[in-house]
Amino acid sequence: MDIQSIHPLVIFFAAITTNNILLTNFLGMCSFLAVSKDLKSSLGLGVAVIFVSTFTAPLNWLVYHKLLVPYGLEYLQYIAFIIVIAAFVQIIEMIIERVSTLLYLTLGIFLPLITVNCAIFGCVLFLVIRQYTFMQSIAYGLGAGTGWALAITALAGIRTRMEKKSKVIAELEGPGIALIITGIMAMAFIGFSGIVKIN
Amino acid sequence: MSAGPVKGVAALKRMLWEENPVIGQILGICSALAVTNLVKNTLVMCLGLIFTLMMSCFTVSLLRNVIPRQVRMIIQVLVIAAYVIVIKIILDAYLPEISNELGPYVGLIITNCIVMGRTEGYAMNNKPGDAILDGIGAGIGYSLVLLPIAMVREPLGLGTFFGMQLLPPDWTKWNMMVIAPSGFFALATYIWIVRAFKAGEGKR
Protein backbone atom coordinates (compact mmCIF):
# COMPACT_ATOMS: atom_id res chain seq x y z
CA MET A 1 0.00 0.00 0.00
CA ASP A 2 1.15 3.48 -0.78
CA ILE A 3 2.21 5.25 2.38
CA GLN A 4 0.64 8.56 1.36
CA SER A 5 -2.81 6.99 1.15
CA ILE A 6 -2.87 5.85 4.78
CA HIS A 7 -5.41 7.77 6.80
CA PRO A 8 -3.79 10.09 9.37
CA LEU A 9 -5.88 8.52 12.11
CA VAL A 10 -4.31 5.14 11.39
CA ILE A 11 -0.88 6.69 11.65
CA PHE A 12 -1.85 8.31 14.93
CA PHE A 13 -2.89 5.01 16.52
CA ALA A 14 0.03 3.13 15.07
CA ALA A 15 2.43 5.71 16.50
CA ILE A 16 0.98 5.16 19.96
CA THR A 17 0.83 1.39 19.93
CA THR A 18 2.63 -0.72 17.34
CA ASN A 19 5.24 1.85 16.43
CA ASN A 20 5.63 3.37 19.88
CA ILE A 21 8.64 5.61 19.56
CA LEU A 22 10.08 4.54 22.89
CA LEU A 23 9.24 0.88 23.08
CA THR A 24 10.03 -0.06 19.49
CA ASN A 25 12.50 2.62 18.44
CA PHE A 26 14.23 3.22 21.77
CA LEU A 27 14.03 6.97 21.39
CA GLY A 28 14.03 9.34 24.32
CA MET A 29 15.55 6.79 26.65
CA CYS A 30 17.83 9.17 28.55
CA SER A 31 15.16 11.40 29.99
CA PHE A 32 12.85 8.40 30.19
CA LEU A 33 15.10 6.62 32.67
CA ALA A 34 16.10 9.75 34.56
CA VAL A 35 12.66 11.25 35.11
CA SER A 36 10.48 8.16 35.51
CA LYS A 37 11.26 7.84 39.21
CA ASP A 38 8.50 10.26 39.99
CA LEU A 39 4.95 10.11 38.63
CA LYS A 40 4.23 13.82 38.72
CA SER A 41 7.29 14.96 36.80
CA SER A 42 6.82 12.10 34.33
CA LEU A 43 3.37 13.40 33.57
CA GLY A 44 4.71 16.93 33.16
CA LEU A 45 7.47 15.87 30.84
CA GLY A 46 5.05 13.65 28.94
CA VAL A 47 2.67 16.53 28.28
CA ALA A 48 5.56 18.76 27.25
CA VAL A 49 6.77 16.13 24.78
CA ILE A 50 3.28 15.70 23.29
CA PHE A 51 3.00 19.45 22.89
CA VAL A 52 6.40 19.99 21.29
CA SER A 53 6.29 16.98 18.99
CA THR A 54 2.81 17.85 17.73
CA PHE A 55 4.01 21.26 16.62
CA THR A 56 7.56 20.56 15.53
CA ALA A 57 6.56 17.65 13.32
CA PRO A 58 4.46 19.70 10.87
CA LEU A 59 6.82 22.69 11.24
CA ASN A 60 9.76 20.60 10.20
CA TRP A 61 7.69 19.03 7.42
CA LEU A 62 7.17 22.52 6.03
CA VAL A 63 10.84 23.40 6.41
CA TYR A 64 11.93 20.20 4.68
CA HIS A 65 9.43 20.08 1.82
CA LYS A 66 8.95 23.78 1.15
CA LEU A 67 12.41 25.12 1.90
CA LEU A 68 15.13 22.48 1.76
CA VAL A 69 13.86 20.31 -1.10
CA PRO A 70 13.14 23.12 -3.60
CA TYR A 71 16.65 24.48 -3.14
CA GLY A 72 18.35 21.07 -3.07
CA LEU A 73 19.61 21.53 0.47
CA GLU A 74 18.48 18.17 1.85
CA TYR A 75 21.91 17.53 3.32
CA LEU A 76 21.38 20.40 5.73
CA GLN A 77 18.28 18.72 7.18
CA TYR A 78 19.82 17.78 10.53
CA ILE A 79 20.97 21.30 11.28
CA ALA A 80 17.69 22.79 10.08
CA PHE A 81 15.59 20.43 12.22
CA ILE A 82 17.64 21.02 15.33
CA ILE A 83 17.42 24.78 14.90
CA VAL A 84 13.65 24.62 14.36
CA ILE A 85 13.17 22.47 17.47
CA ALA A 86 15.46 24.61 19.62
CA ALA A 87 13.88 27.84 18.43
CA PHE A 88 10.37 26.49 18.94
CA VAL A 89 11.12 25.35 22.46
CA GLN A 90 12.71 28.69 23.29
CA ILE A 91 9.74 30.67 21.97
CA ILE A 92 7.21 28.47 23.74
CA GLU A 93 9.14 28.86 26.96
CA MET A 94 8.99 32.64 26.67
CA ILE A 95 5.28 32.63 25.80
CA ILE A 96 4.38 30.30 28.65
CA GLU A 97 6.38 32.40 31.07
CA ARG A 98 4.37 35.48 30.07
CA VAL A 99 0.96 33.89 29.87
CA SER A 100 0.72 31.57 32.83
CA THR A 101 2.94 31.22 35.85
CA LEU A 102 1.25 28.00 36.85
CA LEU A 103 1.83 26.41 33.47
CA TYR A 104 5.40 27.67 33.47
CA LEU A 105 6.06 26.06 36.82
CA THR A 106 4.65 22.72 35.69
CA LEU A 107 5.90 22.59 32.11
CA GLY A 108 8.65 25.18 32.00
CA ILE A 109 11.38 23.24 33.72
CA PHE A 110 10.96 20.38 31.28
CA LEU A 111 11.17 22.39 28.11
CA PRO A 112 14.97 22.82 27.96
CA LEU A 113 15.33 19.06 28.38
CA ILE A 114 13.26 18.56 25.29
CA THR A 115 15.58 20.25 22.83
CA VAL A 116 17.97 17.33 23.10
CA ASN A 117 15.30 14.69 23.54
CA CYS A 118 15.84 12.07 20.86
CA ALA A 119 12.13 11.29 20.73
CA ILE A 120 11.35 14.69 19.22
CA PHE A 121 14.25 14.66 16.80
CA GLY A 122 13.71 11.01 15.89
CA CYS A 123 10.05 11.67 15.22
CA VAL A 124 11.01 14.36 12.73
CA LEU A 125 13.57 12.13 11.02
CA PHE A 126 11.04 9.31 10.70
CA LEU A 127 8.43 11.49 9.08
CA VAL A 128 10.94 12.63 6.49
CA ILE A 129 12.24 9.12 5.79
CA ARG A 130 8.75 7.63 5.58
CA GLN A 131 7.64 10.51 3.33
CA TYR A 132 4.50 11.40 5.21
CA THR A 133 2.14 14.07 3.94
CA PHE A 134 1.49 17.22 5.95
CA MET A 135 -1.64 15.86 7.65
CA GLN A 136 0.05 12.56 8.34
CA SER A 137 2.98 14.31 9.96
CA ILE A 138 0.67 16.17 12.36
CA ALA A 139 -0.96 12.87 13.27
CA TYR A 140 2.42 11.21 13.64
CA GLY A 141 3.80 13.98 15.85
CA LEU A 142 0.75 13.83 18.10
CA GLY A 143 0.79 10.03 18.19
CA ALA A 144 4.50 9.71 18.85
CA GLY A 145 4.31 12.22 21.68
CA THR A 146 1.29 10.52 23.20
CA GLY A 147 2.94 7.12 22.93
CA TRP A 148 6.04 8.40 24.66
CA ALA A 149 4.01 10.07 27.41
CA LEU A 150 2.01 6.88 27.88
CA ALA A 151 5.15 4.79 28.26
CA ILE A 152 6.85 7.14 30.73
CA THR A 153 3.76 7.53 32.91
CA ALA A 154 3.22 3.78 32.97
CA LEU A 155 6.82 3.16 33.94
CA ALA A 156 6.75 5.87 36.60
CA GLY A 157 3.65 4.30 38.11
CA ILE A 158 5.23 0.88 38.22
CA ARG A 159 8.47 2.21 39.65
CA THR A 160 6.76 4.14 42.42
CA ARG A 161 4.83 1.07 43.48
CA MET A 162 7.89 -1.09 43.28
CA GLU A 163 9.92 1.17 45.47
CA LYS A 164 7.44 0.70 48.28
CA LYS A 165 6.76 -2.98 48.01
CA SER A 166 9.54 -4.88 46.31
CA LYS A 167 13.12 -5.66 46.96
CA VAL A 168 15.40 -5.42 43.97
CA ILE A 169 18.79 -7.02 43.56
CA ALA A 170 21.32 -4.35 44.53
CA GLU A 171 23.15 -4.31 41.19
CA LEU A 172 19.94 -3.95 39.23
CA GLU A 173 18.55 -1.07 41.24
CA GLY A 174 17.70 2.10 39.36
CA PRO A 175 18.28 1.97 35.63
CA GLY A 176 18.75 -1.80 35.46
CA ILE A 177 15.33 -2.72 36.74
CA ALA A 178 13.76 0.17 34.84
CA LEU A 179 15.15 -1.29 31.62
CA ILE A 180 13.75 -4.72 32.43
CA ILE A 181 10.31 -3.28 33.18
CA THR A 182 10.47 -1.35 29.93
CA GLY A 183 11.35 -4.58 28.13
CA ILE A 184 8.30 -6.30 29.57
CA MET A 185 6.20 -3.30 28.61
CA ALA A 186 7.59 -3.48 25.09
CA MET A 187 6.57 -7.13 24.94
CA ALA A 188 3.07 -6.20 26.03
CA PHE A 189 2.91 -3.61 23.29
CA ILE A 190 3.80 -6.25 20.71
CA GLY A 191 0.35 -7.60 21.48
CA PHE A 192 -1.06 -4.61 19.62
CA SER A 193 0.64 -5.57 16.40
CA GLY A 194 -2.47 -7.04 14.79
CA ILE A 195 -4.49 -3.85 15.15
CA VAL A 196 -2.78 -1.32 12.95
CA LYS A 197 0.32 -1.50 10.88
CA ILE A 198 2.52 1.11 9.31
CA ASN A 199 6.08 0.81 8.34
CA MET B 1 34.92 10.37 41.00
CA SER B 2 38.20 12.08 40.19
CA ALA B 3 39.55 15.12 41.94
CA GLY B 4 40.79 17.90 39.71
CA PRO B 5 41.01 17.89 35.94
CA VAL B 6 42.07 14.65 34.30
CA LYS B 7 44.59 15.07 31.54
CA GLY B 8 45.94 13.14 28.60
CA VAL B 9 45.71 9.38 28.40
CA ALA B 10 44.11 9.17 31.82
CA ALA B 11 41.16 11.08 30.36
CA LEU B 12 40.82 8.37 27.73
CA LYS B 13 41.27 5.45 30.08
CA ARG B 14 38.75 6.40 32.73
CA MET B 15 36.02 6.54 30.10
CA LEU B 16 36.50 2.88 29.28
CA TRP B 17 35.69 1.42 32.66
CA GLU B 18 35.45 3.66 35.72
CA GLU B 19 33.34 6.37 34.19
CA ASN B 20 31.94 4.53 31.22
CA PRO B 21 29.18 6.84 29.99
CA VAL B 22 26.69 4.07 29.25
CA ILE B 23 27.14 1.96 32.37
CA GLY B 24 27.72 4.75 34.83
CA GLN B 25 25.37 7.48 33.75
CA ILE B 26 23.09 5.49 31.41
CA LEU B 27 23.59 8.09 28.71
CA GLY B 28 23.31 7.73 25.00
CA ILE B 29 21.37 4.53 24.84
CA CYS B 30 18.60 6.18 22.84
CA SER B 31 20.08 5.47 19.48
CA ALA B 32 22.11 2.59 20.78
CA LEU B 33 19.68 -0.20 21.41
CA ALA B 34 17.97 -0.09 18.06
CA VAL B 35 21.06 -0.95 16.04
CA THR B 36 22.40 -3.74 18.22
CA ASN B 37 20.58 -6.57 16.47
CA LEU B 38 23.25 -6.65 13.75
CA VAL B 39 26.96 -6.55 14.54
CA LYS B 40 27.80 -4.83 11.28
CA ASN B 41 25.41 -1.93 11.85
CA THR B 42 26.57 -1.62 15.43
CA LEU B 43 30.17 -1.35 14.34
CA VAL B 44 29.36 1.39 11.84
CA MET B 45 27.33 3.21 14.46
CA CYS B 46 30.18 2.98 16.99
CA LEU B 47 32.75 4.24 14.50
CA GLY B 48 30.41 7.09 13.64
CA LEU B 49 30.04 8.02 17.26
CA ILE B 50 33.77 7.84 17.96
CA PHE B 51 34.41 10.12 15.00
CA THR B 52 31.72 12.60 16.05
CA LEU B 53 32.90 12.66 19.64
CA MET B 54 36.53 13.09 18.71
CA MET B 55 35.96 15.87 16.20
CA SER B 56 33.32 17.79 18.10
CA CYS B 57 35.26 17.65 21.36
CA PHE B 58 38.27 18.93 19.47
CA THR B 59 36.36 21.74 17.76
CA VAL B 60 34.48 22.83 20.85
CA SER B 61 37.71 22.81 22.81
CA LEU B 62 39.42 24.98 20.18
CA LEU B 63 36.54 27.43 20.29
CA ARG B 64 36.07 27.30 24.04
CA ASN B 65 37.40 30.80 24.65
CA VAL B 66 35.39 32.36 21.84
CA ILE B 67 31.98 30.82 22.57
CA PRO B 68 29.77 33.13 24.63
CA ARG B 69 28.51 31.36 27.72
CA GLN B 70 24.81 31.97 27.04
CA VAL B 71 24.67 30.36 23.62
CA ARG B 72 27.16 27.57 24.20
CA MET B 73 24.59 24.77 24.03
CA ILE B 74 23.28 25.68 20.62
CA ILE B 75 26.81 26.15 19.27
CA GLN B 76 27.80 22.73 20.54
CA VAL B 77 24.75 21.19 18.90
CA LEU B 78 25.58 22.88 15.61
CA VAL B 79 29.18 21.66 15.73
CA ILE B 80 27.99 18.13 16.44
CA ALA B 81 25.36 18.32 13.71
CA ALA B 82 27.98 19.42 11.18
CA TYR B 83 30.11 16.33 11.84
CA VAL B 84 27.12 14.02 11.79
CA ILE B 85 26.23 15.38 8.36
CA VAL B 86 29.76 14.50 7.25
CA ILE B 87 29.23 10.93 8.48
CA LYS B 88 25.86 10.70 6.77
CA ILE B 89 27.31 11.82 3.46
CA ILE B 90 30.23 9.38 3.74
CA LEU B 91 27.87 6.52 4.57
CA ASP B 92 25.54 7.40 1.71
CA ALA B 93 28.46 7.39 -0.69
CA TYR B 94 30.33 4.27 0.39
CA LEU B 95 27.90 2.11 2.37
CA PRO B 96 24.46 3.03 1.04
CA GLU B 97 22.91 -0.24 2.23
CA ILE B 98 23.94 0.21 5.84
CA SER B 99 23.01 3.86 5.68
CA ASN B 100 19.53 2.79 4.62
CA GLU B 101 19.21 0.27 7.41
CA LEU B 102 20.40 2.66 10.06
CA GLY B 103 17.90 5.18 8.73
CA PRO B 104 17.33 7.92 11.26
CA TYR B 105 19.77 6.53 13.79
CA VAL B 106 22.79 8.14 12.16
CA GLY B 107 21.13 11.52 12.53
CA LEU B 108 20.24 10.69 16.08
CA ILE B 109 23.92 10.79 17.03
CA ILE B 110 23.28 14.54 17.29
CA THR B 111 20.93 14.11 20.20
CA ASN B 112 23.03 11.38 21.76
CA CYS B 113 23.55 12.62 25.28
CA ILE B 114 27.11 11.31 25.41
CA VAL B 115 28.33 13.79 22.82
CA MET B 116 26.68 16.78 24.46
CA GLY B 117 27.80 15.52 27.84
CA ARG B 118 31.44 15.36 26.83
CA THR B 119 31.56 18.67 24.96
CA GLU B 120 29.76 20.47 27.77
CA GLY B 121 31.39 18.61 30.64
CA TYR B 122 34.96 18.31 29.44
CA ALA B 123 35.84 19.98 26.14
CA MET B 124 34.53 23.39 27.23
CA ASN B 125 37.15 23.55 29.99
CA ASN B 126 40.13 21.67 28.62
CA LYS B 127 42.83 21.87 25.96
CA PRO B 128 42.14 20.40 22.49
CA GLY B 129 44.62 17.52 22.89
CA ASP B 130 43.00 16.30 26.09
CA ALA B 131 39.54 16.86 24.67
CA ILE B 132 40.27 14.57 21.70
CA LEU B 133 41.49 11.78 23.99
CA ASP B 134 38.48 12.23 26.23
CA GLY B 135 36.18 12.06 23.21
CA ILE B 136 37.83 8.92 21.84
CA GLY B 137 37.65 7.34 25.28
CA ALA B 138 33.94 8.03 25.62
CA GLY B 139 33.36 6.67 22.12
CA ILE B 140 35.25 3.48 22.80
CA GLY B 141 33.53 3.12 26.15
CA TYR B 142 30.21 3.29 24.31
CA SER B 143 31.39 0.70 21.79
CA LEU B 144 32.49 -1.61 24.61
CA VAL B 145 28.88 -1.78 25.69
CA LEU B 146 27.19 -1.94 22.32
CA LEU B 147 29.40 -4.48 20.57
CA PRO B 148 29.03 -7.25 23.17
CA ILE B 149 25.27 -6.74 23.19
CA ALA B 150 25.17 -6.98 19.41
CA MET B 151 27.42 -10.04 19.51
CA VAL B 152 24.86 -11.79 21.69
CA ARG B 153 21.76 -10.59 19.91
CA GLU B 154 22.72 -11.30 16.32
CA PRO B 155 23.88 -14.94 16.69
CA LEU B 156 20.96 -15.90 18.93
CA GLY B 157 18.38 -14.04 16.90
CA LEU B 158 19.49 -14.73 13.35
CA GLY B 159 22.12 -17.45 13.73
CA THR B 160 24.66 -15.25 11.98
CA PHE B 161 27.64 -13.17 12.99
CA PHE B 162 28.66 -10.16 10.93
CA GLY B 163 26.30 -11.46 8.24
CA MET B 164 28.02 -14.87 8.09
CA GLN B 165 26.34 -18.08 9.17
CA LEU B 166 27.66 -18.90 12.63
CA LEU B 167 25.27 -21.38 14.17
CA PRO B 168 24.08 -24.44 12.19
CA PRO B 169 21.24 -23.69 9.74
CA ASP B 170 18.76 -25.80 11.68
CA TRP B 171 19.25 -23.55 14.73
CA THR B 172 15.89 -22.37 15.96
CA LYS B 173 16.12 -18.63 15.73
CA TRP B 174 15.21 -16.67 18.81
CA ASN B 175 13.03 -14.12 17.10
CA MET B 176 12.79 -12.40 20.42
CA MET B 177 16.43 -11.34 20.23
CA VAL B 178 15.94 -9.32 17.05
CA ILE B 179 12.92 -7.31 18.13
CA ALA B 180 12.79 -4.44 20.56
CA PRO B 181 12.21 -5.97 24.03
CA SER B 182 15.38 -8.03 23.98
CA GLY B 183 17.36 -4.83 23.54
CA PHE B 184 16.11 -3.65 26.91
CA PHE B 185 16.75 -7.02 28.52
CA ALA B 186 20.22 -7.33 27.02
CA LEU B 187 21.30 -3.90 28.23
CA ALA B 188 19.85 -4.50 31.69
CA THR B 189 21.71 -7.81 31.94
CA TYR B 190 24.92 -6.18 30.79
CA ILE B 191 24.58 -3.41 33.38
CA TRP B 192 23.87 -6.05 36.00
CA ILE B 193 27.00 -8.03 35.17
CA VAL B 194 29.24 -4.96 35.07
CA ARG B 195 27.89 -3.58 38.33
CA ALA B 196 28.29 -6.95 40.02
CA PHE B 197 31.90 -6.92 38.84
CA LYS B 198 32.47 -3.41 40.12
CA ALA B 199 30.93 -4.25 43.48
CA GLY B 200 33.28 -7.22 43.74
CA GLU B 201 36.18 -4.96 42.84
CA GLY B 202 35.26 -2.54 45.60
CA LYS B 203 35.25 -5.22 48.24
CA ARG B 204 38.76 -6.38 47.51
pLDDT digits (tens, 9 = 90+) for A1-19: 567 788 888 889 888 888 8
Please give the distance of CA B74 from its chain centroid, rounded to a whole number: 21
Q: How far is B130 from chain A (nearest CA, A)?
A: 25
Which residues are CB-neighbours of B149 under 8 A, at least 6 positions away?
B36, B42, B183, B186, B187, B190
User: Which residues of chain A does B202 touch, with a Cβ-Cβ cutoff of 8 Å?
Assistant: none
Which residues are CB-neighbours of A40 under 8 A, at least 6 positions away?
none
A36-44: average pLDDT? 83
> In whole angstroms, what is the distance from residue B183 CA to residue A134 CA?
32
- DSSP 8-state code for residue B31: T
Which of A31, A76, A116 best tests the B interface by mutation, with the highest count of B CBs <10 A? A116
Q: State the SS3 of A81-119.
A: HHHHHHHHHHHHHHHHHHHCHHHHHHHHHHHHHHHCCHH
pLDDT of residue A102: 79
Is A183 part of a structural domain of the chain?
A: yes
Residue A103 has pLDDT above 70, yes or no: yes
Q: Say whether A74 sits in a helix, a strand or coil.
A: helix
> In whole angstroms, what is the distance from residue A17 CA to residue A63 CA?
28
Is B3 part of a structural domain of the chain?
A: no
Which residues are CB-neighbours of A181 under 8 A, at least 6 positions away?
A155, A158, A159, A162
Q: Does B197 touch chain A (CB under 8 A)?
A: no
Cα angle value B21/B26/B32 (rounded, 5°): 85
B15-37: average pLDDT? 75
pLDDT of residue A81: 92
Q: Could you tell me which of B186, B202, B169 has the C-alpha nearest to residue B36?
A: B186
Q: Does B75 touch chain A (CB under 8 A)?
A: no
Please give the distance of CA B139 from its chain centroid, rounded to a whole number: 5
Nearest to A116 among B32, B111, B185 (CB): B111
The alpha carbon dihedral of B182, A190, A39, B108 has a sign of: positive
Which residues are CB-neighbours of B196 under 8 A, at least 6 positions away?
A171
pLDDT of residue B3: 41
User: Which residues of chain B does A186 touch, with a Cβ-Cβ cutoff of 8 Å?
Assistant: 180-181, 184
Nearest to B108 among A24, A79, A125 (CB): A125
User: Which residues of chain B does A36 touch, with a Cβ-Cβ cutoff of 8 Å?
Assistant: none
Is B114 part of a structural domain of the chain?
A: yes
Is A53 part of a structural domain of the chain?
A: yes
Is B176 part of a structural domain of the chain?
A: yes
pLDDT of residue A143: 94
**Domain of A27?**
3-193
pLDDT digits (tens, 9 = 90+) for A155-174: 999 988 888 878 887 777 77
Nearest residue of chain B to residue A86 (CA atoms): B74
Q: Does B117 touch chain A (CB under 8 A)?
A: no
Determine contact, residues B109/B139, Cβ cutoff 8 Å: no
Is A163 part of a structural domain of the chain?
A: yes
pLDDT digits (tens, 9 = 90+) for B39-86: 888 999 999 999 999 999 999 999 989 988 878 888 888 899 999 999
pLDDT of residue B16: 78
Is B35 part of a structural domain of the chain?
A: yes
Q: Which of A156-170, B131-145, B147-161 has the highest mean pLDDT?
A: B131-145
Q: Do A79 and B78 touch (CB under 8 A)?
A: yes
Poorest-pLDDT segment among A125-139, B21-35, B144-158, B168-182: B21-35
The CA distances from residue B144 to B46, B150, B194, in Å, are: 9, 10, 11
A30-46: average pLDDT? 82
Q: How far is A73 from chain B (nearest CA, A)?
A: 12
Is A77 part of a structural domain of the chain?
A: yes
Residue B2 has pLDDT above 70, yes or no: no
Predicted confidence band of residue B5 (pLDDT cuts 50, 70, 90): low
Q: Per-residue b/e over A154-178, b at no fewer than 16 CB within 10 Å? A: bbbebbbeeeeeeeeeebbeebbbb
> In whole angstroms, what is the distance from residue A94 CA to residue A102 CA?
14
B97-126: average pLDDT? 85
- How many separate domains does chain A show? 1
Is B1 part of a structural domain of the chain?
A: no
Over chain A, what is the mean pLDDT? 85
Asked if this assembly's ipTM is beyond 0.90, the reply is no
Q: Does B111 touch chain A (CB under 8 A)?
A: yes
> In whole angstroms, what is the distance from residue A107 CA to residue A121 CA?
19
Predicted confidence band of residue B4 (pLDDT cuts 50, 70, 90): low
> In whole angstroms, what is the distance from residue B64 CA to residue B120 CA?
10
Predicted confidence band of residue A140 (pLDDT cuts 50, 70, 90): very high
pLDDT of residue B1: 38
Q: Does B90 touch chain A (CB under 8 A)?
A: no
Is A155 part of a structural domain of the chain?
A: yes
pLDDT of residue B13: 78
User: Which residues of chain B does A86 touch, with a Cβ-Cβ cutoff of 8 Å?
Assistant: 74, 77
Give the rounded percent of residues in chain A with a pLDDT score beyond 90. Answer: 26
pTM > 0.90: yes or no: no
pLDDT of residue A28: 82
Which residues are CB-neighbours of B121 under 8 A, at least 6 positions away?
none
Give the rounded percent of residues in chain A with a pLDDT score beyond 70. Answer: 95
Helices A118-129/A134-165 angle, 10° precision: 150
Predicted confidence band of residue A65 (pLDDT cuts 50, 70, 90): very high
User: Which residues of chain A does B180 touch, with a Cβ-Cβ cutoff of 8 Å?
Assistant: 23-26, 186, 190
**Domain of B189?**
8-203
